[in-house]
Amino acid sequence: MNATRHNKRGFGVVVVAIVAMALFACCIDEDAPVTTTPCPPDDTPVYGYKIVNTYPHDRNAFTQGLVFDNGFLYEGTGLFGKSSLRESELETGKVIRSYYLPDKFFGEGVTLWGDKLIQLTWQSHVGFVYDKDSFLILQEFSYPTEGWGLTHDGKHLIMSDGTATLYFLNPDTFEEVGRIEVRDRDVPITNLNELEYIKGAIYANVWLTDRIAIISPETGQVAGWLCLEGLLNEEGSSQPVEVLNGIAYDAKHDRLFVTGKYWPKLYEIRATYPQNSVSTSTRPPSV
């Protein structure tokens, strides 16, 4: 994320066969309409998408982090003087609770750890731990890098800082316990932004693109790309909008949600077969 991020104009390979099979084994509706996009060809699978459902989204939300839990979305928004943590209804988009950060903080990624919400800030090197039910701040913690995206794998927090590095943190002490460099074959993938951990893989928005990288947490290798170019249609972009940013997953019902900064809609999507020259036997991610 980055002000250059409002001033960021958004303020705006292959993996080993076992990992690939684990990430891509699933069933899809081959008769469903498929959205194709002009994402460039690549030796790494580039998946298209189909829209399953659309939901309202607050177009005043400068989305930095997104989490789904039990029918509700928990969203972190950014910009100095406007950063917030909020809870909203999936079906209506109605914000039912919110907390606004002090003006000096630029809010960033959010994740849910047990009964606590954890939120990063951009350049202040400060994060906040909230009680999920009351939004009361329970704790502050620090980190040496910028804060961009945040998720967890059930054992560790996983944080991005806008580089090609993902950091694994102890969820109790917030100390770094490991890191990986994300690469597509031999090319480092920078601008890693909002994160979501889904079925053993890390999904990462790549800032200023319409692509989500699907990353092996063991190796850092990109196992595939989810290309969402054209997702926000002309009707949806009739007012100013910013970049794709925001990934949430409903594990109970196997639903993937995505949105963007100032987007008026949140989309439930499902991946489709690769659009590039990779073998069509390569199945898309299970979401």
The domains of the chain are located at 5-274
pLDDT, residue 159, reads: 98
Matching CATH number, 5-274, of 2.30.180.10, 2.40.128.630, 2.40.110.10, 2.40.180.10: 2.40.128.630
Over residues 172-204, the pLDDT tens digits come to 999 999 999 999 999 999 999 999 999 999 999
Mean pLDDT is lowest, of 25-39, 109-123, 252-266, for 25-39
> 219 pLDDT exceeds 70?
yes
pLDDT, residue 242, reads: 83
C-beta of residue 108 within 8 angstroms of C-beta of residue 120: yes
3-state secondary structure of 259: strand
Helix, strand, coil percentages in the chain from 3-state DSSP, rounded to 5: 5, 45, 50
- Indicate the pTM of the whole model: 0.85
Q: Tell me whether strands 137-142 and 126-131 are parallel, antiparallel or unpaired.
A: antiparallel
Residue 174's region, left for phi above 0, alpha for psi from -120 to 50, else beta, is: left
Name the band, by pLDDT with cuts 50, 70 and 90, for residue 281.
Answer: low
